[in-house]
Structure 1
Amino acid sequence: MKILMVTSETVPFAKTGGLADAVSALAINLRKQGHDVRIVMPRYYKIDRSKLKAIEAPLAVAAGTIETWVKVYEAPLPGTDVPVYFIDHEQCFGRDGIYGTKAEPDFHDNPYRSAVLCHGAFQLCRLLGWYPDIMHAHDWFCCLVPVLLKHVCRNGYFAHTASVLTIHNLGYQGWYSKDSFPALGLDWNLYYGGGFERNGSINLLQAGISCADMITTVSPTYAGEMQSVEGGFGLDGLLRVRSDVVRGVLNGCDLETWNPKTDKLLPANFDYKDLSGKAKCKEALQKRMGLPVKKDVPVIGIVTRLADQKGIAEVFAPSYGSIYSICANMDVQFAILGSGEKWCEDEINSLQSKLPNLRAYIGYDESLSHLIEAGSDFFLMPSRYEPCGLNQMYSMLYGTLPIVRRTGGLADTVEQYNEFSGDGTGFLFDNLTPGAVYDTTGWAVWAYYNKKDHIKKMQVRGMKKNFSWDTSAQNYVGIYSDALWRGCGINTADWR
C-alpha cells in the first residue's frame, strides 16, 4: 500500500508527546513490512533548512480566503528510507511552539496553520505524482484531511484514496470561534455538512470523526472509554454513532531505545536472566537523586508531565494528596522527574525540603528518565485517563513494577498482581482518590518486603513482554483495508 502520514509532529524533528513517537515508529514498521510510507509535517523554524533537500517547485495552497504559496523540503527519517516532507510557511510555522507557547497556549491562528498543512498534503501528492491509497491523519490538527477527502478531493486521482484518523488524546479537540471557519479554505456549507459546528463554534476533531473512513485510537480500552460519557469529552455520542469504524490498536515501544540489555544511558545493563545490573542502577539512581543508598528499601519512580490528566492532585496536592503520608508512614524512597503546572512544581520542591526520602528534578532529562525506569523498584502512574501510555511499558521491560490506575492503555498492558500465586506484572486500582493511591502503593510495598519471590516472578514476566510495533503495524494494515472498502469500495484481497 501507499500510505501518507499527515502529522503535526514526528521524532526527531518535533515532539510534544507520544504522538511524535507513534507516527515515526508506525511508519518505520510499515515500511519494514514492504509498504510505501511517507510523512508530511510542518517545517518549524527549529528544523534546520540546511539539513533538508529543497523541492524546487512551490505549492499553491487553498487555505484561507486567498491562495497561499508554500515551499517543500524533504529528508529521510534518520536511519531509514522513509521520506519526510516539510511544508514551509514562515507566517504559520516560523515561531516557537507547535500548538502554542506559555504566553499564548493555543495559537489563535491554529485553524489556518492546520489548513496550510492539510491542503498542502493534497497538493504535495499532486506535485509528486504520487497518490496514496491511505491518508492517515493524526489528531485534531490534521482533521481537515478526512474532511477534504470526503467532500472536496475524492475524485480524479484521489478517487481510490481512503482516510484513517488516529485519536491520540480525545481531550485535545481544536475548538475555535466560528469566525475562524474561513481560514480553513472551505465552502460555508461544510460548516454543518462537514461536521464542524459545535455550540456555535468549530470543532476540528469532531469534523474529522464525522468524515474519516476509519477511526483508531491507541489502545482497545481507550476506544471504549472514548464512547462513554465520562471519557468522551462531549464527543462520546458521535463516537457511539460511528462505533462500527472505531478500533483500538495498542501503541508499541521503541525497543532499540528502551532495552535494558543494550541501553547506553545506564551505568549497568541487565536482562531477565541476570538482574544484578538493575541493583547497580538502583544505587546509581539513589546517588544521583541524593537519596540514602539503601539497597533493601524500595524506590518508587515517577516520570510525568505535571498535568491534571496524570492524576497529580491525588498525589501532590497540599493537604489532599497522598505522597506525604506515603513517605511519612512507609519505608520507601521517591525519585521524581517532571515539569508542568507551577503549583505542582512548587509543592514538589516544598516536599523535598520536608522529606528526606523524596527527591525530584523539575524539568526533563533523558538519561535520568532511563535511570529512573531502570533503578526503581516500582513506577507510580495514577492517570486520570491514559489513551495508551508508554512509561508503564518501559517500566515492565526494565523490571520495574507499575502502580497504575485501571484505565486506557494501562488496563491493557498491566496485569493485576495475585498475592496468592504471584502472577501479574503490577498493581492496579480503579477509583482515582488519594486513598486509593495510598492503599495500592502500600500493597506494593507490603509485597516488596513480604513476597520477595513474587516480586522477582513479576519482574521476569514483565521483562519478557512483547511491546514491539510489529503487531500494531500489522493491525493497521487490516484497518487500512477496511478503510478502502468502506470509503472507496475497494477489496484489497483482489490485489493479491
Structure 2
Amino acid sequence: MSADTKKRVLIVANELSPYLEFTDFAQILNKLAIKTFDAGLEVRVIMPRFGIINERRHRLHEVVRLSGINVIIDKDDYPLIIKVASLPNARLQVYFMDNDDYFKRKSVFRDDQDNFFEDNAERMIFFCKSALETVKKFGWPPHVIHCHGWMTSLIPLYLKTAYKKEPVFSYSKTIFTAQQPQFSEILNDQFTRKAMISNEIKEKDLEVFKEGTNMALTLGASKYADVVVFGEDNLDPQIVEEVKPSRYKKVLKYEDSWKEDITPLLDLYKSLTES
C-alpha cells in the first residue's frame, strides 16, 4: 500500500489503556488501535490530557510545531496545548489536548467531594473543537473518525455542520460508541448555546442534545454519526430503541469476544475506508 493510497483512522476518546480506563472499552481501543496499525492503516489517537495522567511515566511531551492554536468558546479564547506520546508496544502516536483552565485539575469529571464539575459542558466543547482543529493543523484527512466516550459526543454533529466544508474532512465517516450513561447530572443550562461554535450550527441541530443528560449526548451523537457501535451488552432500552439499524444507519452490536478478538471492529474500519 503506497503512501498516497494509505487509509487513515482517527480515534478520539475519553479513555485509552494504559493512560486512563473507565470501562472495558479502554483496553479494546488499545488493541484496536494497534491491530489497525498492524493491518497497514495509518492511525492516530486524540484524547484529553486529564490532570491525573502522569506525563513523566507515559513520556508525554509538548508538540511545539502544533502550538499557537486558540480555541474560542462563547467569545473567550483558550490556548490549546498539544502533547504527544507513543502508545506502548506500538509505533503510533497519541495526542493529548491540554489547557490549564480545563485539564490541569488532578481529577477527571468530579471534584474531591464527588461533585460533577460545573464546567464539564465547556470542557467537552473545548475538547471536541480542539480535536478537529488539531486534525486541520495536521493536514491529515481521516477516512474514519471513531468517537468514543461522552466527551466526544459533539464531534459527529460538528462534522455535519461547522466543519462540513473543510477539505480535510470531506470523506470522513464517523463512528460513535454508545454506552451506558456514566453520569446522572445535567450539564449546565448554557451548554447548547455555547455548543453553537459556528453560524453553520442552528438551534434545531442541537434539539436532541438540549436536555443535557448523558443519555441526550448519546442519542445526539448517534443521530449524527454514520455508524453506531454498541460498546456494552445490555444497553439502556432507550438507546437500543432510538438507534435502530436502517438503510441510513449501520449498527454494530457489542460482542464480549472483542476483548480477545477485535476483528469485527477492524473489519468495520476497513469497510468504511473503502466505501
Aligned counterpart, 2:28:
22
Aligned counterpart, 2:268:
476
Aligned counterpart, 2:143:
133
Aligned counterpart, 1:165:
176
Secondary structure of the corresponding residue to residue 61 of structure 1: strand
Aligned counterpart, 1:487:
none
Secondary structure of the corresponding residue to residue 81 of structure 1: coil
**1:237-276, aligned counterparts within 5 Å?**
237-240=241-244, 244-250=249-255, 252=257
Displacement of 1:237: 4.2
Structure 1 distance, partners of 2:183, 2:119, is 16
More divergent stretch after superposition (157-166 vs 95-104): 95-104
Does the CA contact (< 8 Å) of 1:71 and 1:87 recur in 2?
yes
Does the CA contact (< 8 Å) of 1:62 and 1:185 recur in 2?
no
Does the CA contact (< 8 Å) of 2:52 and 2:108 recur in 1?
no
Verify: 1:192 aligned to 2:196, yes or no.
Answer: no
Structure-1-length-normalised TM-score: 0.48
Does the CA contact (< 8 Å) of 1:209 and 1:215 recur in 2?
yes
Structure 2 distance, partners of 1:167, 1:30, is 21
Structure 2 distance, partners of 1:215, 1:170, is 15
Displacement of 1:170: 4.8
Structure 1 distance, partners of 2:49, 2:85, is 11
- Segments of 4+ moved more than 6 angstroms: none
Structure 2 distance, partners of 1:32, 1:241, is 30
Structure 2 distance, partners of 1:200, 1:170, is 12
What percent identity do the matched residue pairs reach?
Answer: 19
Aligned counterpart, 1:344:
none
Aligned counterpart, 1:68:
78
Q: Deviations over 1:198-236 (max 9, x none)?
A: 5587932222011111111136xx4xx54xxxx32x444
Aligned counterpart, 2:3:
none
Q: Relative to structure 1, is the Cα distance of residues 242 and 199 closer, same or farther in structure 2, using a 3 angstrom cutoff?
A: farther
Aligned counterpart, 2:228:
215
Q: Relative to structure 1, is the Cα distance of residues 47 and 35 closer, same or farther in structure 2, using a 3 angstrom cutoff?
A: same
Structure 2 distance, partners of 1:64, 1:476, is 37
Displacement of 1:252: 4.8
Structure-2-length-normalised TM-score: 0.82
Structure 2 distance, partners of 1:173, 1:82, is 35
Structure 1 distance, partners of 2:25, 2:184, is 14
Amino acid at match of 1:193: D
**1:79-94, aligned counterparts within 5 Å?**
79-94=89-104
Which residue of the other structure, out of 38, 43, 54, is the alignment partner of 2:62?
Answer: 54
Secondary structure of the corresponding residue to residue 165 of structure 1: strand
Unaligned segments of structure 2, at least 5 residues: 1-6
Does the CA contact (< 8 Å) of 1:173 and 1:205 recur in 2?
no
Larger radius of gyration: 1
Q: Deviations over 1:305-347 (max 9, x none)?
A: xxxxxxxxxxxxxxxxxxxxxxxxxxxxxxxxxxxxxxxxxxx
Aligned counterpart, 1:327:
none
Amino acid at match of 2:31: A
Structure 1 distance, partners of 2:245, 2:207, is 13
**1:70-469, aligned counterparts within 5 Å?**
70-101=80-111, 103-155=113-165, 156-170=167-181, 175-186=186-197, 190-199=202-211, 203-218=216-231, 222=233, 226=235, 231-232=236-237, 234-240=238-244, 244-250=249-255, 252=257, 467-469=260-262
Does the CA contact (< 8 Å) of 2:82 and 2:97 recur in 1?
yes
Q: Relative to structure 1, is the Cα distance of residues 106 and 19 closer, same or farther in structure 2, using a 3 angstrom cutoff?
A: farther
Q: Relative to structure 1, is the Cα distance of residues 166 and 199 closer, same or farther in structure 2, using a 3 angstrom cutoff?
A: closer
Secondary structure of the corresponding residue to residue 187 of structure 2: strand
Verify: 1:9 aligned to 2:22, yes or no.
Answer: no
Structure 2 distance, partners of 1:195, 1:83, is 36
Does the CA contact (< 8 Å) of 1:65 and 1:185 recur in 2?
no
Query: Higher helix share goes to which structure?
Result: 1
Structure 1 distance, partners of 2:107, 2:124, is 14
Query: Larger relative CO (CA 8 A, sep 6+): 1 or 2?
Result: 2
Does the CA contact (< 8 Å) of 2:116 and 2:185 recur in 1?
no
Q: Relative to structure 1, is the Cα distance of residues 52 and 474 closer, same or farther in structure 2, using a 3 angstrom cutoff?
A: closer
Structure 1 distance, partners of 2:28, 2:74, is 30
Amino acid at match of 2:168: Y
Q: Deviations over 1:380-434 (max 9, x none)?
A: xxxxxxxxxx6xxxxxxxxxxxxxxxxxxxxxxxxxxxxxxxxxxxxxxxxxxxx
